[in-house]
Amino acid sequence: MCAALAVVGVVVLVDASRLGAVTSSNDPVGPKAMPFLVGGGLLVVAVLYAVDVLRGGVGEAETGEDVELGQRADWKTVGMLAGAFLLNAVLIEPLGWVISGALLFFLAAFALGNRHHVRGLAIGIALSLTTFYAFAIGLGVNLPAGVLQGIL
């Protein structure tokens, strides 16, 4: 694992060194900073992990989760979640993020056992509107508005 982390860290650093120098008045750091931080962090973790292993450190034994291993997987829930994500992928362009995101949240919450439909839909609308404006205003990334183009 140490070697794998180190290899990934070196690959990230090599790829980051190949990025062109692009800066602007809005972003004086440019796109190189984050890959260098991630690659350096991976190398630091690989070294610290190797030192721990060489000192005799071993990971904690698996204590298990709150999962009943004797029961079968709930494929109905998995299928409903997969259907919700697929429906979102199909509807995001024609309907827009706000509607498809609200529907995605509502259907995912329903699949996971939520039976408060009005509250689930209201929270879905609030979350999708919040993320729509957070991306648009905060990040400058325009999510598709779909049928709400001109209203949002």
The lowest-confidence range among 23-27, 39-43, 104-108, 141-145 is: 23-27
- Can you give the pTM of this predicted structure? 0.59
- What is the percent of the chain with per-residue pLDDT over 70, rounded to a whole number? 90
The lowest-confidence range among 2-11, 64-73, 121-130 is: 64-73
Residues near 125 by beta carbon (within 8 Å), at least 6 away in sequence = 98, 102
CA distance 130 to 102: 11
104-125 pLDDT, tens digit each: 999 999 999 999 999 999 999 9
122 phi-psi bin (left φ>0, alpha ψ -120 to 50, beta other): alpha
Residue-averaged pLDDT of the chain: 89
50-83 pLDDT, tens digit each: 999 999 887 777 776 676 767 788 899 999 999 9
Residues in the chain: 152
pLDDT of residue 60: 75
Residues near 35 by beta carbon (within 8 Å), at least 6 away in sequence = 12, 13, 15, 16, 19
12-21 pLDDT, tens digit each: 999 988 887 7
pLDDT of residue 26: 67
CA distance 74 to 79: 9
134-148 pLDDT, tens digit each: 998 888 888 899 998
Count the alpha carbons within 13 Å of 46 in the hemisphere toward its beta carbon: 16
b/e map 35-71, b = 16+ CB within 10 Å: beeebeebbeebeeeeeeeeeeeeeeeeeeeeeeeee
Q: What is the dihedral of CA 95, 100, 102, 108, to 10 degrees?
A: 160
Once rounded to an integer, what is the mean pLDDT over residues 75-96? 95
Q: Which single residue is written with the structure tokens 């997969």?
A: 82
> Structure tokens of 92?
């995001």
